[in-house]
Amino acid sequence: MEIEVKNQTDDEITFIIRDAEVPFVNAIRRIAMMEVPKMAIEDVYMVQNDSAMFDEVLAHRLGLTPLVSDLDAVDGLVMPDNCDCGDHCPKCSVSLTLNKSGPGVIYSKDLVSSDSKIKPVYDTIPLLKLKEGQNVELEAIAQLGIGKDHAKWVPTTVCAYKQYPEITFNDDLNIDYACVEACPKKILKANKKKGKIEVTDIESCTLCKACERACEKQLVKDENGNEFSKKYINLGYQENNFIFKIETDGSMPPKEVLLKACDVLSNKADEFITFSKGGS
């Protein structure tokens, strides 16, 4: 198997996986979304909330506020299930407090964390609005969790793959330029001088087949003289090559999500081998 990174930013990565099987690539996709731990607010203790927003709605908004969860930030923290405290303690939790008075909009940056590394990823997420004389005071407890338990712990906003597209042309047929106009991604280019169609960016192809539908069927004969119809353009994909894209909510770099997903899959494989050998 081979991996080639096509582009990478702080919260997005696109890479090509060659010589892999669908079940393996799909397992990585599912684990990246559902089983890579990240921090999110789990419990909220309301001391005062004079705003028009119900306590539970505010708690829900706090839960969905992305918190920095990269390797450096969560180093030393354990999942609550693996902690012996039974509730929450500094080994498994981080406390964030909010104590503000109106008038004004209260933003994510107003949350004060007990751990300088674990704080909201973005400063400007509006949490609630307070009028003159209104106050909000609360303590929020953030813990590690996984997306399988709640969407607030899903680190990815996009996690998807497609098989590597393959476009071929039946050069024995009359050239059909209808597919060029039909392509929504504009990756087909008519070269009328050379009498052919060029593919400018195969990796942007969504395999929607609009190009194939736009072409007319043309009658041809096989070597036995039997007539059958086919189209000028053929859309297909490479069975074992994939284009994979991961985008995160900013809580951790996408490469970290991928590496952690590989670790989780590898641990599952080890557990399976141990189990199949009669261990537990």
Amino acid 238 reads Q
Tokens 């930013």 — which residue? 9
Tokens 């109106």 — which residue? 102
The binder of 154, among ligand SF4, Zn ion, none, by C-beta within 5 to 8 A per type, is none
* Closer Cβ to Zn ion, 1 or 85, answer by number: 85
Tokens 């007319």 — which residue? 216
* Closer Cβ to Zn ion, 74 or 83, answer by number: 83
For residue 231 the two structure tokens come to: 């189209």
Question: Rounded distance, CA 42 to CA 64, Å?
Answer: 10
CB of 125 to ligand SF4, least distance (A): 35
Give whole-number Cα distances, 88 to 45, 69, 141, 158, 167, in Å. 13, 18, 8, 31, 56
> Is residue 189 close enough to count as binding ligand SF4 by CB under 6 A?
no
> Is residue 79 close enough to count as binding Zn ion by CB under 5 A?
no
Stretch that binds Zn ion, among 22-30, 51-59, 77-85, 185-193 (CB under 5 A): 77-85
Q: Which of 3, 57, 85, 273 binds Zn ion (CB under 5 A)?
A: 85
Stretch that binds ligand SF4, among 9-17, 74-82, 180-188, 263-271 (CB under 6 A): 180-188
* Closer Cβ to ligand SF4, 129 or 162, answer by number: 162
The binder of 92, among ligand SF4, Zn ion, none, by C-beta within 5 to 8 A per type, is Zn ion
> 170: number of CA atoms within 13 Å, CB side?
18
Stretch that binds ligand SF4, among 51-59, 89-97, 184-192, 243-251 (CB under 6 A): 184-192
The binder of 74, among Zn ion, ligand SF4, none, by C-beta within 5 to 8 A per type, is none
Q: Which residue, among 78, 12, 9, has the nearest Cα to 39 in the 3D structure?
A: 78
> Is residue 202 close enough to count as binding Zn ion by CB under 5 A?
no
The binder of 85, among Zn ion, ligand SF4, none, by C-beta within 5 to 8 A per type, is Zn ion
Q: What are phi and psi of 248, to 5 degrees?
A: -110, 170
How much is the CA Rg of the chain, to the nearest whole Å? 26
SS3 label, residue 124: coil
Neighbours of 71 (CB within 10 A): 11
* Closer Cβ to ligand SF4, 142 or 235, answer by number: 235
CB of 210 to ligand SF4, least distance (A): 4
> Is residue 185 close enough to count as binding ligand SF4 by CB under 6 A?
yes
> Taking phi first (over 0 means left), then psi (-120 to 50 degrees means alpha), and beta for anything else, what does residue 195 get?
left
Partners of 159 in the beta sheet?
A: 246
Does 103 sit behind a cis peptide bond, omega within 30 degrees of 0 on the bond before it? yes
> Is residue 187 close enough to count as binding ligand SF4 by CB under 6 A?
yes
CB of 92 to Zn ion, least distance (A): 3
Q: What residues make contact with ligand SF4 under the rule CB under 6 A?
A: 167, 182-183, 185, 187-188, 205-211, 235
